[in-house]
Amino acid sequence: MKSPHTTPRTSPPWLAPLLLSAGLSASFSGSLYSVAAAQVGPSQGVNFGQALINSSCTVTTNDGSIGVRTNRNLITSDTTEGGNFSGTLTAASISAVSNLTTTGFVKVDNPTLTGTTAATTSQVKLGTGTWGSSGQVNLGADGSMSSTPLHVRFSTTNNNNRFANGTYTASATVSCYDGP
């Protein structure tokens, strides 16, 4: 019985000039060639510029209008208040779009009334909420708040509980916040 012997495999002769000029070595392994790569030149780092992250919220408002109850003890924008009114009662509206989530909210501060007689009570109501000295609505999961009615109302204990003749205007500040 003949003893098996192994013949070393070498690269084909036509590959030698290529390997020598590139400073590489290769070995023949069946029908595949394996080439070890040599780094040429220094490595270079890659940097990425800064990302500036800011909370953003855009509040959009539409003005409303106020009227006075005929006995002059109440000024409001809410048509659901009882009694007869002089003037056009119209809700304002607010909406918001932001990059916040449900932790964000829109807040309406205590409204102000400008006119001849000072209001002793100033209140706001957002949507179908309740009257209060301020109002707040949480943003949705997408960071937005659809158009929401905003009402104001004012009463007075001055001037025998009546607003005196004159021109009155009302305003409220609406802001967007991130966090509880």
Task: Report pLDDT for 28.
Answer: 46
Per-residue confidence at 37, pLDDT binned at 50, 70, 90?
Answer: confident
pLDDT tens sequence across 134-171: 999 999 999 999 999 999 999 999 999 999 999 999 99
Q: What 8-state DSSP symbol labels residue 132?
A: B
The whole-angstrom separation of Cα 77 and Cα 164 is 18
The whole-angstrom separation of Cα 105 and Cα 137 is 6
The whole-angstrom separation of Cα 115 and Cα 167 is 6
Per-residue confidence at 86, pLDDT binned at 50, 70, 90?
Answer: very high
4-8, 37-41, 115-119, 161-165, range with the lowest pLDDT: 4-8
Q: Is the pLDDT of residue 85 over 90?
A: yes
**Whole-Å CA distances, 84 to 72, 88, 113:** 10, 11, 20
